[in-house]
Structure 1
């Protein structure tokens, strides 16, 4: 995990890890069969580090918000390793704890089965996409600040020109909460029998 946070997932190899540990490369194979399993274990370690959220309310929306914010907090603690959660299947107890918590939130809202799984996957897609962009564009988290818009003929893009200031700035807190409320509003509409997928 320290290697990933320092240099990124691409830096991980059995040889590199052995050097970090001051061990022989072949000795690592006594513990893990290959790099893929090693990376799976790192992803599991991230999930095991997830802190349970506390909510006083029974309202599913409050639980949904708290769960999403807990995932964001996890991403901010492990900004470079968080990408692993987008590419690994978490089949351990740590992985199923977060799946169970998400499904329980949808159950509180009255959604079960296939619909709940679809909603959970939509939530996961929102969180992973939003949070990977946040950590990648936050210098304080090891990301790279976005470069300014330059050399673009704004007369060819009038709608973009109207909001060029907003397009050039990021407020990750506000944008995360805005997207979260959009998802909750969509779930409420679906729950009330409005148009759905």
Structure 2
């Protein structure tokens, strides 16, 4: 715990919020809890951050700023989309407890707009602009959020819970499910992420024609 002799600043408050989110999730954040962690009075935090909603936004922006720019030696839009998606996955794995928070915040600062600009540039490479590109970006975001939230939730090394295998089912009632119980009860996150990504790219290729 920090000592009260350290000056209280917005940066220190946001840093403490990020640490708390990484340990316990965004639901653990409260002004009273952060004040205790910082060795300060609760009301003194409001001199720097007026409310919890803004504090969570600032924490999300701080984490989003940790997104690493991707590099790819190719002019092919498919390679850029693959590299960008993989960079988002790495961010989720570095900040598993915060990823749900990032998914529910609209970040209009430089950190948030930077990743939007990168995504739109990739669709521009493929010949898509305007409303069409925005729709495609949102479809890609929906895929990334869904698959990465599942990966985080089912990966013990990321703080998730390992799912138990499916129990036997009545094959006469659910014949197709019964045939793939082993597959349904296990995850190969690397393979499934890449498989879904290639499906999306194939769909974009189809849309081009």
User: What is aligned with 1:137?
Assistant: 154
The residue number in structure 2 matching 1:41 is: 58
Number of residues of Structure 1 aligned to a counterpart in Structure 2: 192
1:6 matched residue in structure 2: 23
How many Å separate the matches in 1 of 2:83 and 2:110?
21
Shift of 1:151: 5.9
Structure 2: runs of 5+ lacking an equivalent: 1-17
* Deviation of 1:8 (Å): 1.1
Q: Does residue 85 of structure 1 match 2:102?
A: yes
Q: CA deviation at 1:154?
A: 3.4
Give the conservation status (yes or no) of the 8 Å contact 1:46–1:82: no
> Which position in structure 2 is the counterpart of 1:146?
163
Partner of 1:100: 117
Report the Cα distance in structure 2 between the residues aligned to 1:30 and 1:179, rounded to whole angstroms: 46
Q: How far off is 1:139 after superposition? A: 0.1
Supply the distance in 2 between the matched residues of 1:135 and 1:67 (Cα, whole angstroms). Answer: 19
> 1:99-178 to 2 correspondence within 5 Å?
99-150=116-167, 152-178=169-195
1:32 equivalent in alignment to 2:44: no
TM-score between both structures, scaled by the size of structure 1: 0.95
Distance of 1:12 and 1:67 partners within structure 2: 30
Larger RCO of the pair (alpha carbons < 8 Å, separation 6+): 1
Alignment check: 8 A CA contact 2:60 2:105 kept? yes
Counterpart of 2:80 in structure 1 is 63
Q: Does 1:73 align with 2:90?
A: yes
Return structure 1 stretches of 4+ with deviation > 2 angstroms: 150-155
| CA apart distance, 1:152 | 3.6
Matched, 1:16 2:33: yes
Query: Could you list the runs of 5+ residues in structure 1 that have no partner in the other structure?
Result: 193-197
Q: 2:199 aligns with which of 175, 182, 185?
A: 182
Please report the RMSD computed on the Cα atoms of aligned residues, expressed in angstroms: 0.9
Which segment drifts farther, 105-114 or 39-48? 39-48
Indicate the larger mover: 153-162 or 124-133: 153-162
